[in-house]
Structure 1
Amino acid sequence: MNREELKKEFLNEWPINRVGNMVLEEYTNLNKTSFCYWLESKTQDLGSIWGGSSFKFGIYRKNSTKVNTNKGYSSDNEYAWVTKYGKTADEAFSTVKSVINEIVDAAQKNELQRIDKVNLGPAYKWKVAFLYSDYKVVNIYKPEALQFAAESLGMNKVHNSPSSELHKFIMGNKLLTESYYGFTGRLWHEYAASLKNTGLPGANELPPMSADLTNEKIALNTILYGPPGTGKTFNTINIAVEISDPAFYEQNKDDRAKLRERYNQLLIKDWGNMQKGQIGFCTFHQNFTYEDFIEGIKPIKPAVEDNFLKYDVQDGIFKKITERAHYFSNGLVLKNKALINIKESDYQNANFYKISLGDVNKPEDQAIYDYCIENSCISIGFMGGYDLTDKTINDFNQIVQDNNWSRYAAQAMNYFNHYLQVGDYFIVSKGNYKVRAIGKVIGSYYYDENAPIPSYHFRKVEWLIENTEIPIAEIYQKALSQQTIYSLNKAWINKEFFVSNISTSARDNQVQNFVLIIDEINRGNISQIFGELITLIEKDKRAGKDEALEITLPYSKEVFSVPPNLYILGTMNTADRSVEALDTALRRRFSFIEMPPKAEKIKFEGRLKDMAGMLGEIDLVELLDTINKRIEKLLDKNHMIGHSYLMNVSNINDLKQAFYESIIPLLQEYFYGDFAKIGLVLGSGFFKAEPKNQALDKKIFADFFHEAIDELSSREVLRLKNISKMTDDDFTEALQKLLNKKTENATL
């Protein structure tokens, strides 16, 4: 049984309602079924509280009838207890039970500061808190170890900080990609390692949690969800870099500037030219479709020889990044590197061309490609019926003119006959973004009217790579065009791909991970956008897995699957739409990581961290917590205010700006301009009453009978104050009223 399952088993055995109704015999007994036995023994893998006497439980069932006479402790024939909890066993248990229920309630509400004040042994009370919290408490119960962990993560003055602050700070530093038990196990292991050879008690004992040091990476399909301003997009950058370049991330995980720079380097900025990009970004919206995401039929820019508008099947962003991920997941990189063996001198002397062997969108043209591969040749079909041996460009132009053909036919044949030289290299396109073969020209032009394909102009070639799908970005810095044949710009060619004396880079020797970030994933029509591919993204349905699936796409008729090295990372703003309202198919296939407001980050990581989040007399942590508690009462937790709005506050003007530009507009949106509810959140200090004018007020309404006309005419009209024009003193006073620190003149 793993640790998550063990915690669930405990909660199934000891649900909150049972703890609330618990009797003394359930709390402590000699049958190994009690609450205390579960805490100390059965759940020891969730953090040990062994050691010390049984008085740590407040009261316990004795295994003898001996009466305890030690000062501060009491006993009878069955139980022993700490005297401060009561004069009798029943009285002591009633007190302890009340204390435990207080801990459970505080842990459930994440109000950890309440637990600091609870009068119970520290290890015991914090283990209770861990078991009933949603992984908001660190399962390290030894105070010295907890302080060591917080200090190692950068917290100052740990010895003067209450335990609740240590827990909040430590959990605030857990990476989203790191499992809870991997994170806390690592911290415990570091503490144990620091004690070795010190001669301190327990220094050479390996703590129980040190065995679990696994760092479970983020799931293949993950959605970060939470209210505005909780760091969802901020964290996608960290996660994307860790997934796509783990070595860089490990070296620079504490340097936000470097992570941001690396993210920008890996980000695919031009989907037409995905040169070395591993991170894709898109935003779902109401008009985003399957055709944008997977593939669709769209008009294409006319080529020189076109006389009418053409349409083509064009790949969407998901298909593009999927195919690129495929290339780096199945060993094709090294295989192709081994097949291409061009010397530096040959590369410098050669020219490079792109050629199409038939139209990949026409099934009947596959025969052209197959024939060329089997017979080591290339062919194009312009000017059929004319042997162009020894013909010049002028001859080509005359033939085109005589037959009323496109002028491009002459240009294409000129490239094929005259420009393309023995020793030159060419790539065979498969659409605009893939290469399906690479070859070298070894023979001159020849004409074969008996060829079994509708193309009679040929050149003999040596195939270097065939029947593959190489992303064009690996070879060339631009997407390929629809022209049948043209010269490639050598400055845009990836020399590393062709030249054998350039050493294979480390990135080619390992599977590369790719990340597609979908911002605002809940705003799109998921069923419409993913279509039939929603099943293929499941972990066990990915290519190469035992239950792997593949489908034939509706437009291109290509076989499609999703590789295991492509991560989908979505974000969703719960103020727009709750998780429960999401498409059921999406919810089943994604892991969800909640990103709630973490006000304590303001204290430990914000611009005012040196002042512990204090701006004069205003505690920013208390300020945000107060606002959010009121919003949760009036609406729900999905509409709370994120900590990021106050992270960069360093002075009163910054705080004014945060309220003026972010917090108040959000409240107006949440409550649809209902000043009564906004006032319940902000208090009277942010409102002003319009001056009354009895003469004008009586004439404000049209001439019509209403029984309450006098009351309506005299009703007070409230306006939100313009914060940008408030003095610092007025703004501070308004904040004090918000926090209920000043009650005088609290009503308008």
Structure 2
Amino acid sequence: MLNSEQIHAELNKLGCALEPGKNNPSYAYEHFLGNGKYLYVKRKANGSVDKAPLVLHPDCLALRPIIDRIDGLSVTWQKVKSTSYRRYPKDNGASQYGYDANVSTGQALSQLVALLTDSAPVRQTNTASTYQTASKQKDLPMHPLNQILFGPPGTGKTYATTEMAVRIAEAEWFQNISETHDGDALREAVKGKYDELVKAKRVVFTTFHQSFAYEDFIEGIRAETDEQNNGLRYEVTDGIFKQLCNDAAVKVQVASTESVSLEGKRIWKMSLGNTLGGEEYIYEECVKQGYALLGYGDDIDFSDCHSREAVKAKLEDIYQSPVANNNYTLTSVHVFKNQMQQGDLIVVSDGNHKFRAIGQITGDYEFLETDERVGYQQLRRVNWLRQYQPSLSIEHLFLKALSQMTLYELKPTTIDHARLEQLLAPTGGQESEHKPHVLIIDEINRGNISRIFGELITLLEPDKRKGGADARSVILPYSKEPFTVPDNLYVIGTMNTADKSLAQLDLALRRRFSFVEMMPKPELLSDFTVHGVSLKEMLTVINQRIEALLDAEHLIGHSYFMPLLNMPETEREQALADMFRNRILPLLQEYFFDDYQRIGWVLNDPAKQPDHRFIVTDEALRDHLPKLDKLFPAEVAEQLLDRRYRINEKAFASAEAYQGIVK
């Protein structure tokens, strides 16, 4: 095994040197990997450390399945705490911590560094991990399964999720497009791809709020209209997280790799057995045998019934009673026997909110002779083109909710033909790819995490996900179904630190998410001026004053100023005035709880002429207001500090008001 001094030397050779000009902790070498990442090597005053000298960042636990396959590297995966690991997070508010490791070869150390710096990712082979390589043809960056972008308002957190989602969901596409596009052209291309992924339900965006609940996120009971009985029924409905988990985990059985034209074909919705009534075997029989079965019509053979009237006559003859024209057995048998044609498509529903197969009719009506049952004996031969396990949510294909009816035609206003063509597009294999799916949760800290996630917060952990080293499942309270989180579902959250401090954030999130800080970037405003004032300098000095008076969590982001960059210079002055009046000043009022004196300090008002101040105080205001001794008894007025302030509307159009901010 390599000792601490040998590992220290090897890391230096790999270019992971100590940062120049920075002191190292007393009992560790702090090796900088770049992009805010570090590795620690234990050290002591005399001699080397031989036992577990390397300390990995806590986030590496998410990489455990990959790291454990590196020959020559052995990680205990037991927490070791020390204040020397100052760049690592604290363990529930206690000391910083990491994971002890032994290294036996320089090659193993090189592989670890390559993995942590994304310079040459180690490939996965059928194993769950917090990171996933999206292409088998080329090495692509890997991404944490759970991450939160945090920072003050206006730092572009939500804006950044668009590119991050595309990077994750279509890593190879993004790498290729970024080689040929940049700037606005790249952003436009990425936004187009993002919209495609949203439409394909591979990216889902939601926002947490105080009323958001478990029933919205995981599953809940909803009242539905029963069209056949003209009443209400109550069904378990999947929430957005469960839907996306099911979509990410779905396996698509592909029976045909050839394209299917929709031209001239009618499309039918059909139920194959009652999924809630113990008739799941009907669907399984149909898929296995290559046909569709209609439950209506009992054991009657309708082979000689070539019209609705003929079907009605046979039913009346068999039952020896009149059959109404709106009788659903009559309607469904006639449609199944006479209206559905060879070449038409069938979409098989799974309840009212999912579908589980798509098939093409290949034969005329047949009667199924069987002694096993009465019913489900009306048969049409079907080539099952696609089968989905678990079922897909209707949002993947339908424009409207499904009806309870067993069989009916899907009109153009009900089904998205473009999406159907995509689902039936030629594929290269018999089973779909395990494609990444992304859930974006904006304002994640504004929701009640324990109320929203419930017992599923544990399942987010990489090793607890399906296929993980410690994979777990839970029984959901409403559906009573086992549920697990797939390893190809990525969760990106955003949180505004001015809205709720990280210190107050639910510890369940802190332990399970990687946190990426996003701070204001005044450098993006370089070379742009308004009223002769550099926007970069203005934002920088405002934020310096806010940080001195409050903290870094309440800075102002650069995105407030970004719209000014795309305007003609003649329009920027009015736009800046509107922005200060409607956005910057209200934000400062919120930050300082309407303490106008401090707001004036942030805008450097005391150093300006009275007419150029955004916040009017002192004699300029009091000349127009009654004196305190006119409002209160003399003994009270003498004890009061006049706190009356007003916003000076004229300052918003004054060049000197903005120039005075930085002078």
TM-score by length of 1: 0.60
Q: Residues 8-407 of structure 1 correspond to what in structure 2 (within 5 A)?
A: 11-13=24-26, 216-253=141-178, 254-267=182-195, 275-303=199-227, 305-327=228-250, 332-333=251-252, 335-336=253-254, 339-340=255-256, 351-360=266-275, 362-373=276-287, 377-382=291-296, 384=298, 388=302, 390-391=304-305, 392-394=307-309, 402=322, 407=327
Residue 13 of structure 1 aligns to a residue in which SS? coil
Distance 1:402 1:311, change over 3 A: farther
Q: CA deviation at 1:674?
A: 1.0
Distance 1:691 1:645, change over 3 A: closer
Distance 1:706 1:498, change over 3 A: closer
When you count helix as a share of all residues, which structure comes out higher?
1
- Whether the 8 Å CA contact 1:352–1:488 is kept in 2: the answer is yes
Mark the runs of 5 or more structure 2 residues left unpaired by the alignment: 1-6, 30-42, 47-52, 55-86, 88-113, 121-138, 607-612
Higher relative CO (CA 8 A, sep ≥ 6), structure 1 or 2?
2
Q: CA deviation at 1:518?
A: 0.8
Q: CA deviation at 1:10?
A: 7.2
Is residue 348 of structure 2 the alignment partner of residue 428 of structure 1? yes
Q: CA deviation at 1:383?
A: 5.4
C-alpha distance in 1, partners of 2:210/2:395? Answer: 34
C-alpha distance in 1, partners of 2:625/2:206? Answer: 58
Q: CA deviation at 1:719?
A: 1.2
Q: CA deviation at 1:492?
A: 1.4
1:487 alignment partner, one of 409, 415, 419: 409
C-alpha distance in 1, partners of 2:371/2:407? Answer: 23
C-alpha distance in 2, partners of 1:660/1:507? Answer: 60
Q: CA deviation at 1:235?
A: 1.3
- Whether the 8 Å CA contact 1:278–1:513 is kept in 2: the answer is yes
C-alpha distance in 1, partners of 2:621/2:287? Answer: 88
Is residue 644 of structure 2 the alignment partner of residue 729 of structure 1? no
Is residue 448 of structure 2 the alignment partner of residue 525 of structure 1? yes
Q: CA deviation at 1:634?
A: 2.3
C-alpha distance in 2, partners of 1:579/1:368? Answer: 53
Is residue 608 of structure 2 the alignment partner of residue 681 of structure 1? no
- Whether the 8 Å CA contact 2:270–2:347 is kept in 1: the answer is yes
Aligned to 2:66: none
Q: Which moved more, 1:632-641 or 1:215-224?
A: 215-224
C-alpha distance in 2, partners of 1:629/1:14? Answer: 34
**Partner AA of 1:561 in structure 2:** T
Distance 1:566 1:573, change over 3 A: same
C-alpha distance in 1, partners of 2:190/2:554? Answer: 33
Q: Which moved more, 1:388-397 or 1:631-640?
A: 388-397
C-alpha distance in 1, partners of 2:432/2:285? Answer: 34
Residue 460 of structure 2 aligns to a residue in which SS? coil
Residue 11 of structure 1 aligns to a residue in which SS? coil
1:510-557 Cα distance to aligned partner (Å, 9 max, x none)? 543221111111111111212222222222222233322233333334
- Whether the 8 Å CA contact 1:226–1:595 is kept in 2: the answer is yes
**Partner AA of 2:283 in structure 1:** Y
Residue 527 of structure 1 aligns to a residue in which SS? helix
Q: CA deviation at 1:369?
A: 2.9
Residue 379 of structure 2 aligns to a residue in which SS? strand
**Partner AA of 1:577 in structure 2:** K
- Whether the 8 Å CA contact 2:397–2:419 is kept in 1: the answer is yes
- Whether the 8 Å CA contact 2:166–2:193 is kept in 1: the answer is no
Is residue 341 of structure 2 the alignment partner of residue 417 of structure 1? no
Residue 569 of structure 1 aligns to a residue in which SS? strand
1:139-176 Cα distance to aligned partner (Å, 9 max, x none)? xxxxxxxxxxxxxxxxxxxxxxxxxxxxxxxxxxxxxx
**Partner AA of 1:419 in structure 2:** Q
Is residue 646 of structure 2 the alignment partner of residue 719 of structure 1? yes
2:581 alignment partner, one of 646, 660, 669: 660
1:188-222 Cα distance to aligned partner (Å, 9 max, x none)? xxxxxxxxxxxxxxxxxxxxxxxxxx975331111
Query: What RMSD over aligned residues (CA atoms) do the two structures have, in Å?
Result: 4.5
1:689-743 Cα distance to aligned partner (Å, 9 max, x none)? 35446995478648xx67314665x9473212125653323443x32xxx4x3xx
C-alpha distance in 2, partners of 1:730/1:340? Answer: 70
Is residue 381 of structure 2 the alignment partner of residue 461 of structure 1? yes
Residue 499 of structure 2 aligns to a residue in which SS? coil
1:487-512 Cα distance to aligned partner (Å, 9 max, x none)? 3458816675687xx75379998543
Aligned to 2:94: none
C-alpha distance in 2, partners of 1:710/1:498? Answer: 79
Is residue 465 of structure 2 the alignment partner of residue 542 of structure 1? yes
Residue 467 of structure 2 aligns to a residue in which SS? coil
Identity, in percent, stands at 32
**Partner AA of 2:339 in structure 1:** Y
Distance 1:441 1:616, change over 3 A: closer
C-alpha distance in 2, partners of 1:556/1:426? Answer: 27
- Whether the 8 Å CA contact 1:656–1:723 is kept in 2: the answer is no
Distance 1:718 1:548, change over 3 A: same
Q: CA deviation at 1:616?
A: 6.4
Distance 1:696 1:675, change over 3 A: closer
Q: CA deviation at 1:575?
A: 0.6
Distance 1:457 1:14, change over 3 A: closer
Distance 1:577 1:246, change over 3 A: same
Equivalent pairs, count: 529
- Whether the 8 Å CA contact 1:447–1:457 is kept in 2: the answer is yes
Q: CA deviation at 1:381?
A: 3.3
Is residue 600 of structure 2 the alignment partner of residue 672 of structure 1? no
Distance 1:637 1:294, change over 3 A: same
- Whether the 8 Å CA contact 2:249–2:486 is kept in 1: the answer is yes
Q: CA deviation at 1:480?
A: 6.5
Aligned to 1:581: 504
Residue 635 of structure 2 aligns to a residue in which SS? coil
C-alpha distance in 1, partners of 2:511/2:243? Answer: 25
Is residue 365 of structure 2 the alignment partner of residue 444 of structure 1? yes
Q: CA deviation at 1:577?
A: 0.5
Q: CA deviation at 1:602?
A: 2.3
TM-score by length of 2: 0.67
C-alpha distance in 1, partners of 2:509/2:378? Answer: 52
C-alpha distance in 1, partners of 2:622/2:194? Answer: 61
C-alpha distance in 2, partners of 1:405/1:691? Answer: 84
Distance 1:681 1:663, change over 3 A: same
**Partner AA of 1:597 in structure 2:** P
C-alpha distance in 1, partners of 2:436/2:430? Answer: 10
- Whether the 8 Å CA contact 1:268–1:280 is kept in 2: the answer is no
**Partner AA of 2:24 in structure 1:** L
**Partner AA of 1:629 in structure 2:** Q
- Whether the 8 Å CA contact 1:445–1:459 is kept in 2: the answer is yes
**Partner AA of 2:237 in structure 1:** Q
- Whether the 8 Å CA contact 1:284–1:519 is kept in 2: the answer is yes
- Whether the 8 Å CA contact 1:627–1:681 is kept in 2: the answer is yes
Distance 1:452 1:434, change over 3 A: same
**Partner AA of 2:154 in structure 1:** G
1:55-90 Cα distance to aligned partner (Å, 9 max, x none)? xxxxxxxxxxxxxxxxxxxxxxxxxxxxxxxxxxxx
Mark the runs of 5 or more structure 1 residues left unpaired by the alignment: 17-30, 35-41, 44-107, 109-177, 186-213, 742-748
**Partner AA of 1:255 in structure 2:** G
